[in-house]
A and B are shown apart, each in its own frame.
Chain A
Amino acid sequence: MPKKVGIEVSLAVSEAVCAADVDVIPAYPVTPQTHIVEHLSELVADGELDAEFMPVESEHSAMSACIGAAAVGARTFTATSAPGLALMHEIVFIAPSLRTPIVMVIANRALSGPISIWNDHSDIMAQRDCGWIQTFAENGQEVFDLIIHAFRVAEDPEVLLPMIVNMDGFTLSHVIEPIELLSASEVSQYLKPFEPQLVLDPKNPVTMGPVGVPELYTEARQQAESVLNGSKKVIVRAWKEFAKLYGRSYKPIETYRTEGAEVVLMTMGSVTETAMTAVDRMREKGIEVGLMRFRLWRPFPHEEFRRAVRGIKALAVVDRAISFGAQGGPVCSKVKSALYGAPYQPQVFGFISGLGGRDITVEMFKQMVKKAIRYAKKGEGPVYELIGVRER
Protein backbone atom coordinates (compact mmCIF):
# COMPACT_ATOMS: atom_id res chain seq x y z
CA MET A 1 0.00 0.00 0.00
CA PRO A 2 1.55 3.34 -1.00
CA LYS A 3 2.37 5.74 1.80
CA LYS A 4 1.50 9.42 1.87
CA VAL A 5 4.54 11.67 1.98
CA GLY A 6 4.86 15.41 2.43
CA ILE A 7 6.46 16.60 -0.79
CA GLU A 8 6.63 19.73 -2.94
CA VAL A 9 4.22 19.22 -5.83
CA SER A 10 6.92 19.94 -8.46
CA LEU A 11 9.03 17.15 -6.97
CA ALA A 12 6.00 14.86 -6.96
CA VAL A 13 5.65 15.61 -10.69
CA SER A 14 9.24 14.40 -11.17
CA GLU A 15 8.46 11.28 -9.13
CA ALA A 16 5.40 10.58 -11.31
CA VAL A 17 7.50 10.97 -14.46
CA CYS A 18 10.13 8.66 -12.92
CA ALA A 19 7.46 6.08 -11.98
CA ALA A 20 6.17 6.25 -15.55
CA ASP A 21 9.70 5.24 -16.66
CA VAL A 22 10.14 7.90 -19.34
CA ASP A 23 12.91 7.59 -21.90
CA VAL A 24 13.62 11.18 -22.92
CA ILE A 25 13.22 14.54 -21.12
CA PRO A 26 14.12 17.53 -23.28
CA ALA A 27 13.76 20.74 -21.27
CA TYR A 28 15.04 24.26 -21.02
CA PRO A 29 16.44 24.14 -17.50
CA VAL A 30 16.49 27.85 -16.59
CA THR A 31 13.67 30.21 -15.53
CA PRO A 32 10.63 30.08 -16.00
CA GLN A 33 11.29 26.40 -15.26
CA THR A 34 10.15 24.89 -11.96
CA HIS A 35 11.86 22.27 -9.80
CA ILE A 36 10.29 19.59 -11.99
CA VAL A 37 13.13 19.22 -14.47
CA GLU A 38 15.77 20.11 -11.88
CA HIS A 39 14.73 17.07 -9.86
CA LEU A 40 14.40 14.93 -12.99
CA SER A 41 17.99 15.79 -13.94
CA GLU A 42 19.02 14.65 -10.44
CA LEU A 43 17.09 11.41 -10.76
CA VAL A 44 18.78 10.71 -14.11
CA ALA A 45 22.24 11.71 -12.83
CA ASP A 46 21.82 9.53 -9.73
CA GLY A 47 20.89 6.54 -11.86
CA GLU A 48 17.39 6.28 -10.40
CA LEU A 49 15.79 6.96 -13.77
CA ASP A 50 17.23 5.41 -16.93
CA ALA A 51 16.44 8.24 -19.33
CA GLU A 52 18.10 10.78 -21.59
CA PHE A 53 17.95 14.26 -20.03
CA MET A 54 18.47 16.86 -22.77
CA PRO A 55 19.10 20.40 -21.50
CA VAL A 56 18.34 22.36 -24.67
CA GLU A 57 18.89 26.03 -25.50
CA SER A 58 15.24 27.17 -25.51
CA GLU A 59 11.69 25.92 -25.11
CA HIS A 60 11.28 26.07 -28.90
CA SER A 61 14.09 23.50 -29.06
CA ALA A 62 12.67 21.56 -26.11
CA MET A 63 9.41 20.89 -27.90
CA SER A 64 11.23 20.16 -31.17
CA ALA A 65 13.39 17.59 -29.36
CA CYS A 66 10.27 16.11 -27.72
CA ILE A 67 8.73 15.55 -31.13
CA GLY A 68 11.91 13.90 -32.41
CA ALA A 69 12.11 11.66 -29.36
CA ALA A 70 8.47 10.59 -29.57
CA ALA A 71 8.89 9.99 -33.31
CA VAL A 72 11.52 7.33 -32.64
CA GLY A 73 9.22 5.67 -30.12
CA ALA A 74 10.55 7.11 -26.84
CA ARG A 75 8.26 7.89 -23.93
CA THR A 76 8.75 11.65 -23.73
CA PHE A 77 8.13 14.31 -21.09
CA THR A 78 8.76 18.01 -20.70
CA ALA A 79 7.57 20.84 -18.48
CA THR A 80 7.39 24.59 -18.80
CA SER A 81 5.57 27.77 -17.79
CA ALA A 82 4.21 31.03 -19.18
CA PRO A 83 6.89 32.70 -21.39
CA GLY A 84 8.53 29.32 -21.97
CA LEU A 85 5.25 27.93 -23.26
CA ALA A 86 4.79 31.03 -25.40
CA LEU A 87 8.23 30.46 -26.95
CA MET A 88 7.21 26.86 -27.72
CA HIS A 89 4.05 28.04 -29.44
CA GLU A 90 5.00 27.24 -33.04
CA ILE A 91 6.08 23.68 -32.22
CA VAL A 92 3.22 23.03 -29.80
CA PHE A 93 0.90 22.89 -32.82
CA ILE A 94 3.15 20.44 -34.65
CA ALA A 95 3.15 17.73 -31.95
CA PRO A 96 -0.54 16.74 -32.32
CA SER A 97 -0.35 17.13 -36.08
CA LEU A 98 2.43 14.50 -36.13
CA ARG A 99 0.52 12.43 -33.54
CA THR A 100 3.45 12.36 -31.13
CA PRO A 101 2.22 11.39 -27.63
CA ILE A 102 4.32 13.78 -25.53
CA VAL A 103 3.26 14.54 -21.96
CA MET A 104 3.87 18.10 -20.77
CA VAL A 105 3.19 19.62 -17.37
CA ILE A 106 2.55 23.34 -17.31
CA ALA A 107 2.88 25.25 -14.07
CA ASN A 108 0.32 27.87 -15.13
CA ARG A 109 1.56 31.42 -14.85
CA ALA A 110 0.64 34.84 -16.18
CA LEU A 111 1.99 36.17 -19.44
CA SER A 112 3.68 39.57 -19.29
CA GLY A 113 3.16 42.51 -19.31
CA PRO A 114 3.50 44.01 -16.95
CA ILE A 115 6.19 41.46 -16.11
CA SER A 116 4.66 38.78 -13.94
CA ILE A 117 5.89 35.40 -12.78
CA TRP A 118 2.77 34.60 -10.76
CA ASN A 119 -0.15 32.27 -11.21
CA ASP A 120 -3.10 32.57 -13.56
CA HIS A 121 -4.25 30.73 -16.69
CA SER A 122 -3.24 33.19 -19.41
CA ASP A 123 -0.35 30.99 -20.59
CA ILE A 124 -2.42 27.90 -21.35
CA MET A 125 -5.40 29.84 -22.70
CA ALA A 126 -3.08 31.29 -25.36
CA GLN A 127 -2.42 27.66 -26.42
CA ARG A 128 -6.04 26.60 -26.07
CA ASP A 129 -6.58 25.68 -29.70
CA CYS A 130 -3.31 23.80 -30.20
CA GLY A 131 -4.84 20.32 -30.56
CA TRP A 132 -3.43 18.79 -27.34
CA ILE A 133 -5.55 16.99 -24.78
CA GLN A 134 -5.67 19.31 -21.75
CA THR A 135 -6.54 18.54 -18.14
CA PHE A 136 -6.47 20.77 -15.04
CA ALA A 137 -5.50 19.51 -11.59
CA GLU A 138 -6.87 20.79 -8.32
CA ASN A 139 -4.22 19.54 -5.88
CA GLY A 140 -0.89 17.76 -5.70
CA GLN A 141 -2.32 14.26 -5.60
CA GLU A 142 -4.36 14.96 -8.67
CA VAL A 143 -1.32 16.34 -10.49
CA PHE A 144 0.54 13.09 -9.77
CA ASP A 145 -2.38 10.93 -10.88
CA LEU A 146 -3.15 12.97 -14.01
CA ILE A 147 0.44 12.57 -15.21
CA ILE A 148 0.24 8.76 -15.02
CA HIS A 149 -3.17 8.98 -16.71
CA ALA A 150 -1.77 11.30 -19.39
CA PHE A 151 0.89 8.80 -20.53
CA ARG A 152 -1.74 6.06 -20.68
CA VAL A 153 -4.15 8.15 -22.80
CA ALA A 154 -1.57 9.85 -25.02
CA GLU A 155 0.05 6.56 -26.03
CA ASP A 156 -3.22 4.70 -26.60
CA PRO A 157 -3.19 3.51 -30.25
CA GLU A 158 -6.65 5.05 -30.71
CA VAL A 159 -5.34 8.43 -29.55
CA LEU A 160 -1.61 9.09 -30.13
CA LEU A 161 -1.92 12.74 -29.20
CA PRO A 162 0.18 14.86 -26.87
CA MET A 163 -1.31 15.80 -23.53
CA ILE A 164 -0.92 18.79 -21.23
CA VAL A 165 -1.48 18.49 -17.48
CA ASN A 166 -2.09 21.96 -16.04
CA MET A 167 -1.28 22.81 -12.45
CA ASP A 168 -1.32 26.24 -10.89
CA GLY A 169 2.12 27.83 -10.69
CA PHE A 170 3.31 28.47 -7.11
CA THR A 171 -0.10 27.74 -5.58
CA LEU A 172 0.58 24.10 -6.45
CA SER A 173 4.04 23.91 -8.00
CA HIS A 174 5.90 25.31 -4.99
CA VAL A 175 3.69 24.01 -2.19
CA ILE A 176 4.32 20.94 -0.02
CA GLU A 177 1.34 18.62 0.09
CA PRO A 178 0.64 15.11 1.39
CA ILE A 179 0.78 12.92 -1.72
CA GLU A 180 0.52 9.17 -2.19
CA LEU A 181 3.37 8.38 -4.57
CA LEU A 182 2.90 5.29 -6.72
CA SER A 183 6.05 3.29 -7.38
CA ALA A 184 7.28 2.30 -10.84
CA SER A 185 6.10 -1.28 -10.28
CA GLU A 186 2.64 -0.10 -9.20
CA VAL A 187 2.43 2.20 -12.22
CA SER A 188 3.54 -0.61 -14.56
CA GLN A 189 0.22 -2.40 -13.91
CA TYR A 190 -1.55 0.57 -15.47
CA LEU A 191 0.97 1.84 -17.96
CA LYS A 192 2.29 -0.69 -20.47
CA PRO A 193 5.40 0.06 -22.56
CA PHE A 194 4.80 2.57 -25.36
CA GLU A 195 4.12 0.80 -28.64
CA PRO A 196 4.25 3.42 -31.38
CA GLN A 197 2.35 2.85 -34.60
CA LEU A 198 4.90 4.62 -36.77
CA VAL A 199 8.56 5.20 -35.92
CA LEU A 200 11.50 6.88 -37.62
CA ASP A 201 13.67 3.89 -38.46
CA PRO A 202 16.32 3.82 -41.24
CA LYS A 203 15.47 0.15 -41.93
CA ASN A 204 11.86 1.00 -42.60
CA PRO A 205 11.83 4.61 -43.74
CA VAL A 206 8.80 6.88 -43.32
CA THR A 207 8.44 10.63 -43.72
CA MET A 208 6.87 12.47 -40.80
CA GLY A 209 5.84 16.08 -41.17
CA PRO A 210 5.67 16.49 -44.95
CA VAL A 211 4.22 19.57 -46.66
CA GLY A 212 0.43 19.70 -46.48
CA VAL A 213 -0.50 21.14 -49.85
CA PRO A 214 -3.90 22.88 -50.09
CA GLU A 215 -5.32 19.66 -51.53
CA LEU A 216 -4.43 17.73 -48.31
CA TYR A 217 -4.16 20.22 -45.42
CA THR A 218 -7.90 20.26 -44.69
CA GLU A 219 -8.00 16.46 -44.57
CA ALA A 220 -4.98 16.38 -42.22
CA ARG A 221 -6.71 18.86 -39.88
CA GLN A 222 -9.93 16.82 -40.01
CA GLN A 223 -7.91 13.80 -38.84
CA ALA A 224 -6.43 15.79 -35.92
CA GLU A 225 -9.84 17.18 -34.92
CA SER A 226 -11.58 13.83 -35.20
CA VAL A 227 -8.93 12.01 -33.13
CA LEU A 228 -9.01 14.71 -30.42
CA ASN A 229 -12.79 14.59 -30.11
CA GLY A 230 -12.73 10.78 -30.16
CA SER A 231 -10.13 10.68 -27.39
CA LYS A 232 -12.74 11.51 -24.73
CA LYS A 233 -13.93 7.91 -24.43
CA VAL A 234 -10.34 6.72 -23.96
CA ILE A 235 -9.74 9.47 -21.36
CA VAL A 236 -12.82 8.44 -19.37
CA ARG A 237 -12.05 4.71 -19.69
CA ALA A 238 -8.49 5.28 -18.48
CA TRP A 239 -9.80 7.17 -15.43
CA LYS A 240 -12.16 4.27 -14.62
CA GLU A 241 -9.30 1.80 -14.79
CA PHE A 242 -7.19 4.11 -12.65
CA ALA A 243 -9.92 4.08 -10.00
CA LYS A 244 -10.06 0.27 -10.06
CA LEU A 245 -6.32 -0.05 -9.49
CA TYR A 246 -5.57 2.83 -7.15
CA GLY A 247 -8.94 3.77 -5.66
CA ARG A 248 -9.00 7.43 -6.75
CA SER A 249 -11.73 8.25 -9.21
CA TYR A 250 -11.73 11.08 -11.72
CA LYS A 251 -14.32 12.44 -14.15
CA PRO A 252 -14.27 15.12 -16.89
CA ILE A 253 -16.41 17.41 -14.69
CA GLU A 254 -16.61 17.34 -10.89
CA THR A 255 -19.59 18.65 -8.99
CA TYR A 256 -19.78 19.68 -5.34
CA ARG A 257 -23.06 20.29 -3.47
CA THR A 258 -24.96 21.11 -6.65
CA GLU A 259 -28.21 19.43 -5.49
CA GLY A 260 -30.96 22.03 -5.50
CA ALA A 261 -28.45 24.79 -6.12
CA GLU A 262 -29.73 28.15 -7.29
CA VAL A 263 -26.26 29.27 -8.39
CA VAL A 264 -23.30 27.09 -9.25
CA LEU A 265 -19.73 28.41 -9.34
CA MET A 266 -17.60 27.06 -12.20
CA THR A 267 -13.85 26.88 -11.68
CA MET A 268 -10.70 25.21 -12.94
CA GLY A 269 -7.56 24.32 -11.00
CA SER A 270 -6.56 24.88 -7.40
CA VAL A 271 -8.92 27.77 -6.59
CA THR A 272 -11.63 25.11 -6.48
CA GLU A 273 -10.62 24.21 -2.93
CA THR A 274 -11.14 27.80 -1.77
CA ALA A 275 -14.44 27.84 -3.66
CA MET A 276 -15.49 24.69 -1.75
CA THR A 277 -14.93 26.51 1.54
CA ALA A 278 -17.02 29.41 0.24
CA VAL A 279 -19.79 27.00 -0.80
CA ASP A 280 -19.74 25.28 2.61
CA ARG A 281 -19.99 28.59 4.47
CA MET A 282 -22.82 29.85 2.28
CA ARG A 283 -24.69 26.54 2.53
CA GLU A 284 -24.45 26.84 6.34
CA LYS A 285 -26.30 30.15 5.98
CA GLY A 286 -28.95 28.54 3.80
CA ILE A 287 -27.76 29.96 0.47
CA GLU A 288 -28.34 27.31 -2.18
CA VAL A 289 -25.00 27.33 -3.95
CA GLY A 290 -22.90 24.59 -5.51
CA LEU A 291 -19.66 24.16 -7.39
CA MET A 292 -18.62 22.61 -10.66
CA ARG A 293 -15.10 22.15 -11.99
CA PHE A 294 -13.71 21.25 -15.38
CA ARG A 295 -10.95 18.68 -15.09
CA LEU A 296 -11.03 17.96 -18.82
CA TRP A 297 -10.74 21.16 -20.86
CA ARG A 298 -9.86 19.76 -24.30
CA PRO A 299 -11.60 17.88 -25.78
CA PHE A 300 -14.39 19.89 -24.16
CA PRO A 301 -16.84 17.51 -22.42
CA HIS A 302 -20.03 18.84 -24.07
CA GLU A 303 -22.42 15.99 -23.15
CA GLU A 304 -21.22 15.75 -19.55
CA PHE A 305 -21.49 19.52 -19.19
CA ARG A 306 -25.04 19.72 -20.54
CA ARG A 307 -26.05 16.87 -18.22
CA ALA A 308 -24.37 18.50 -15.21
CA VAL A 309 -26.17 21.85 -15.56
CA ARG A 310 -29.68 20.37 -15.75
CA GLY A 311 -31.92 22.05 -13.18
CA ILE A 312 -29.37 24.72 -12.24
CA LYS A 313 -30.74 28.27 -12.51
CA ALA A 314 -27.50 30.18 -12.95
CA LEU A 315 -23.81 29.58 -13.46
CA ALA A 316 -21.13 31.93 -12.13
CA VAL A 317 -18.13 31.14 -14.31
CA VAL A 318 -14.73 32.10 -12.93
CA ASP A 319 -12.03 32.80 -15.52
CA ARG A 320 -8.39 33.29 -14.64
CA ALA A 321 -7.48 34.89 -17.96
CA ILE A 322 -8.90 37.69 -20.09
CA SER A 323 -9.73 37.06 -23.70
CA PHE A 324 -8.89 40.64 -24.64
CA GLY A 325 -11.56 42.39 -26.62
CA ALA A 326 -13.90 39.40 -26.57
CA GLN A 327 -15.61 40.80 -23.44
CA GLY A 328 -15.13 37.81 -21.21
CA GLY A 329 -12.85 34.96 -20.34
CA PRO A 330 -12.19 31.87 -22.44
CA VAL A 331 -13.97 29.48 -20.07
CA CYS A 332 -17.13 31.57 -19.90
CA SER A 333 -17.17 32.01 -23.68
CA LYS A 334 -16.88 28.24 -24.10
CA VAL A 335 -19.58 27.58 -21.50
CA LYS A 336 -21.95 29.93 -23.32
CA SER A 337 -21.28 28.39 -26.71
CA ALA A 338 -21.66 24.87 -25.27
CA LEU A 339 -25.14 25.81 -24.05
CA TYR A 340 -26.31 27.34 -27.31
CA GLY A 341 -29.14 25.19 -28.61
CA ALA A 342 -29.09 22.99 -25.50
CA PRO A 343 -32.51 21.77 -24.30
CA TYR A 344 -31.81 23.23 -20.84
CA GLN A 345 -29.99 26.55 -20.53
CA PRO A 346 -29.07 28.11 -17.19
CA GLN A 347 -28.27 31.82 -17.08
CA VAL A 348 -24.53 32.40 -17.32
CA PHE A 349 -22.59 35.20 -15.61
CA GLY A 350 -18.88 35.64 -16.21
CA PHE A 351 -16.35 36.72 -13.61
CA ILE A 352 -12.64 37.26 -14.14
CA SER A 353 -10.45 37.01 -11.07
CA GLY A 354 -7.15 35.76 -9.73
CA LEU A 355 -4.95 37.38 -12.38
CA GLY A 356 -1.15 37.45 -12.08
CA GLY A 357 -0.97 35.80 -8.68
CA ARG A 358 -3.72 37.69 -6.90
CA ASP A 359 -5.56 35.36 -4.51
CA ILE A 360 -9.22 34.63 -4.95
CA THR A 361 -10.46 34.62 -1.37
CA VAL A 362 -13.53 32.96 0.13
CA GLU A 363 -15.05 36.45 0.39
CA MET A 364 -14.51 37.06 -3.32
CA PHE A 365 -16.27 33.80 -4.23
CA LYS A 366 -19.15 34.81 -1.95
CA GLN A 367 -19.30 38.17 -3.72
CA MET A 368 -19.53 36.45 -7.12
CA VAL A 369 -22.30 34.13 -5.91
CA LYS A 370 -24.28 37.04 -4.44
CA LYS A 371 -23.95 39.00 -7.66
CA ALA A 372 -25.02 35.96 -9.72
CA ILE A 373 -28.10 35.44 -7.50
CA ARG A 374 -29.02 39.11 -7.90
CA TYR A 375 -28.52 39.08 -11.69
CA ALA A 376 -30.44 35.79 -12.02
CA LYS A 377 -33.43 37.27 -10.17
CA LYS A 378 -33.34 40.34 -12.38
CA GLY A 379 -32.91 38.12 -15.43
CA GLU A 380 -29.85 40.04 -16.61
CA GLY A 381 -26.33 41.00 -15.60
CA PRO A 382 -23.18 42.47 -17.10
CA VAL A 383 -21.65 40.51 -19.99
CA TYR A 384 -18.64 39.93 -17.69
CA GLU A 385 -16.87 41.69 -14.87
CA LEU A 386 -13.51 41.73 -13.12
CA ILE A 387 -13.68 40.91 -9.43
CA GLY A 388 -11.31 42.59 -7.00
CA VAL A 389 -10.18 45.51 -9.17
CA ARG A 390 -9.34 48.62 -7.17
CA GLU A 391 -11.11 51.65 -8.57
CA ARG A 392 -9.08 54.18 -6.56
Chain B
Amino acid sequence: MAKVDAITGWRNLEIGCAITEPGSSRKLKTGDWRSQRPVTDYDKCIKCGLCWIYCPDMVYSPTRDGYFKWNGDYCKGCGICAHECPKDAITMIMEGE
Protein backbone atom coordinates (compact mmCIF):
# COMPACT_ATOMS: atom_id res chain seq x y z
CA MET B 1 0.00 0.00 0.00
CA ALA B 2 1.19 3.47 -0.83
CA LYS B 3 2.06 5.60 2.15
CA VAL B 4 0.81 9.19 2.30
CA ASP B 5 3.62 11.35 3.58
CA ALA B 6 2.50 14.89 2.61
CA ILE B 7 0.11 14.85 5.55
CA THR B 8 0.66 17.29 8.38
CA GLY B 9 -1.10 18.86 11.36
CA TRP B 10 -3.44 21.82 10.83
CA ARG B 11 -1.06 24.28 12.45
CA ASN B 12 1.53 23.57 9.76
CA LEU B 13 -0.79 24.28 6.82
CA GLU B 14 -0.08 27.42 4.83
CA ILE B 15 -2.61 30.26 4.98
CA GLY B 16 -5.76 29.07 3.24
CA CYS B 17 -4.18 25.67 2.55
CA ALA B 18 -2.07 27.28 -0.21
CA ILE B 19 0.79 25.39 -1.81
CA THR B 20 4.00 27.42 -1.77
CA GLU B 21 6.46 24.73 -2.77
CA PRO B 22 6.50 23.77 -6.48
CA GLY B 23 6.24 20.05 -7.20
CA SER B 24 5.01 19.21 -3.72
CA SER B 25 2.29 16.92 -5.11
CA ARG B 26 5.02 14.27 -5.48
CA LYS B 27 4.90 13.96 -1.71
CA LEU B 28 1.22 13.07 -1.74
CA LYS B 29 1.14 9.42 -2.61
CA THR B 30 -2.16 8.83 -4.27
CA GLY B 31 -2.14 5.07 -4.83
CA ASP B 32 -3.46 3.95 -1.47
CA TRP B 33 -7.02 3.27 -2.59
CA ARG B 34 -6.04 0.79 -5.31
CA SER B 35 -7.77 -2.60 -5.24
CA GLN B 36 -5.70 -4.21 -8.01
CA ARG B 37 -2.13 -3.72 -9.16
CA PRO B 38 -0.50 -4.42 -12.55
CA VAL B 39 2.34 -6.93 -12.73
CA THR B 40 4.52 -7.09 -15.89
CA ASP B 41 5.89 -10.36 -17.23
CA TYR B 42 9.22 -9.19 -18.63
CA ASP B 43 9.58 -12.39 -20.70
CA LYS B 44 6.56 -11.28 -22.76
CA CYS B 45 7.38 -7.52 -22.79
CA ILE B 46 8.59 -6.12 -26.16
CA LYS B 47 9.55 -2.69 -24.72
CA CYS B 48 6.93 -0.91 -26.89
CA GLY B 49 6.19 1.60 -24.11
CA LEU B 50 2.38 1.62 -24.52
CA CYS B 51 1.94 1.16 -20.75
CA TRP B 52 4.15 4.21 -20.21
CA ILE B 53 2.23 6.23 -22.85
CA TYR B 54 -1.29 5.29 -21.75
CA CYS B 55 -0.90 5.43 -17.97
CA PRO B 56 -3.01 8.43 -16.82
CA ASP B 57 -0.90 8.83 -13.67
CA MET B 58 2.60 8.54 -15.15
CA VAL B 59 3.27 5.53 -12.98
CA TYR B 60 5.66 3.87 -15.48
CA SER B 61 9.17 5.14 -16.12
CA PRO B 62 11.70 3.87 -18.66
CA THR B 63 14.67 1.95 -17.32
CA ARG B 64 18.22 1.87 -18.72
CA ASP B 65 17.70 -1.54 -20.37
CA GLY B 66 14.58 -0.36 -22.22
CA TYR B 67 11.84 -1.80 -20.00
CA PHE B 68 9.27 0.17 -18.00
CA LYS B 69 9.19 0.17 -14.23
CA TRP B 70 5.98 0.54 -12.22
CA ASN B 71 5.75 2.90 -9.20
CA GLY B 72 2.97 1.82 -6.86
CA ASP B 73 2.90 5.07 -4.89
CA TYR B 74 0.78 6.74 -7.55
CA CYS B 75 -1.00 3.82 -9.29
CA LYS B 76 -4.76 3.73 -8.75
CA GLY B 77 -5.08 0.30 -10.34
CA CYS B 78 -7.25 1.36 -13.29
CA GLY B 79 -5.86 -1.42 -15.50
CA ILE B 80 -5.45 0.71 -18.65
CA CYS B 81 -1.85 -0.54 -19.03
CA ALA B 82 -2.99 -4.17 -18.89
CA HIS B 83 -5.76 -3.46 -21.38
CA GLU B 84 -3.47 -1.69 -23.85
CA CYS B 85 -0.51 -4.08 -23.65
CA PRO B 86 -0.33 -5.73 -27.15
CA LYS B 87 1.41 -8.83 -25.75
CA ASP B 88 -0.81 -9.34 -22.68
CA ALA B 89 2.37 -9.04 -20.61
CA ILE B 90 0.59 -7.10 -17.84
CA THR B 91 -1.76 -8.89 -15.45
CA MET B 92 -3.93 -7.21 -12.81
CA ILE B 93 -3.48 -8.88 -9.43
CA MET B 94 -5.79 -8.30 -6.45
CA GLU B 95 -4.08 -6.28 -3.72
CA GLY B 96 -3.37 -8.42 -0.72
CA GLU B 97 -2.66 -11.51 -2.85
Q: Which A residues are closer than 8 A to B by beta carbons? A: 97-100, 160, 197-198, 205-210, 212-213, 215-216, 218-220, 222-223, 226
| Residues of A contacting B28 in the complex (Cβ-Cβ under 8 angstroms) | 213
CA distance A252 to B96 in the complex (A): 58
Q: Which residues of A contact B22 (CB under 8 A)?
A: 205
Mask: chain B, 46-88; 1 = CB below 8 Å from A; 0 = not: 0000000000000000000000000000000000000000000
Question: How many Cβ-Cβ contacts under 8 Å join chain A to chain B?
Answer: 51
Is the CB–CB distance between B15 and A197 below 8 Å?
A: yes
**A213 CA / B20 CA spacing, docked (Å):** 17
Tell me how far the C-beta of A154 lies from the nearest C-beta in chain B, rounded to whole angstroms. 13
A198 to B16, CA, bound (A): 9
B93 is an interface residue with CB less than 8 A from chain A: no
14 contacts between A and B (CB under 8 A): A97-B17, A99-B16, A160-B15, A198-B18, A206-B18, A206-B19, A206-B20, A213-B28, A215-B7, A219-B8, A219-B9, A219-B10, A219-B13, A226-B10
Q: B14 near A: Cβ within 8 Å?
A: yes
Distance A210 CA – B22 CA, assembled complex (angstroms):
13
- The residues of A that contact B7 with a CB separation of less than 8 Å are 215-216
A208 & B10 in contact (Cβ 8 Å cutoff): no
Q: Is the CB of A220 within 8 A of B17?
A: yes
Q: Lowest 5 A-B CB distances belong to which pairs?
A: A219-B10, A99-B16, A207-B19, A222-B10, A98-B16
Which A-chain residue is minimally distant from B30 (CB atoms)? Answer: A213
Contact B14 A198, beta carbon cutoff 8 Å: yes
- Check if B17 sits within 8 Å of A100, measured CB to CB: no
Q: Establish whether residues A210 and B15, one from each chain, have CB atoms under 8 Å apart when the complex forms.
A: no
Most central of A99, A198, A206 by chain B CB within 10 Å? A206
A98: chain B residues within 8 A (beta carbon) = 16-18
Cβ–Cβ contact A97 & B16, under 8 A: yes
Q: How far is the CB of B7 from chain A (nearest CB, A)?
A: 5
Contact, CB under 8 Å: B15 / A220: no
Given A198-B20, A207-B19, A208-B18, 17 more A-B residue pairs with CB atoms under 8 Å apart are: A97-B17, A98-B16, A99-B16, A100-B16, A160-B16, A197-B15, A206-B19, A207-B20, A208-B16, A209-B17, A210-B17, A213-B28, A216-B7, A222-B10, A223-B10, A223-B13, A226-B10
A220 touches B20 (CB 8 A): no
A215 to B4, CA, bound (A): 9
Q: Nearest Cβ distance between residue A322 and chain B, in whole angstroms?
A: 34
A220 to B16 alpha-carbon distance, docked (Å)? 7
B1-36 at interface with A (beta carbon < 8 Å): 4, 7-10, 13-20, 22, 28
Q: Across the interface, name the chain A residue whose C-beta is closest to B24.
A: A207
B contact residues around A207 at 8 Å (CB): 18-20
B40 vs chain A, min Cβ distance (A): 29
Asked whether A216 lies within 8 Å of B17 as measured between CB atoms, the reply is yes
Nearest chain A CB to B31's CB is how many angstroms away? 13
Q: How far, in Å, is B81 (CB) from chain A's closest CB?
A: 24
A210→B16 CA distance, assembly (Å):
10
Expressed in whole angstroms, the Cα–Cα distance for A208 and B18 within the complex equals 5
Nearest-neighbour CB distance to chain A for B68, whole angstroms, equals 27
Query: What are the residues of chain B within 8 A of A220 when measuring CB–CB?
Result: 10, 13, 17
CA distance A100 to B16 in the complex (A): 8
In the bound assembly, the distance between CA atoms of A100 and B17 in angstroms comes to: 12
**Which residues of B have CB within 8 Å of A218?**
10
Q: Which residue of A lies closest to B12 (CB)?
A: A219
**Chain A: CB-nearest residue to B17:** A220
Taking the closest CB of chain A, its distance from the CB of B15, in whole angstroms, is 5
Q: Are A212 and B16 in contact (CB under 8 A)?
A: no
Q: Which residues of B contact A97 (CB under 8 A)?
A: 16-17
Taking CB atoms, residues of chain A closer than 8 Å to B10 are 218-220, 222-223, 226
Q: How far is the CB of A69 from chain B (nearest CB, A)?
A: 15
Instruction: Give complex CA distance A207, B14 in Å.
Output: 11
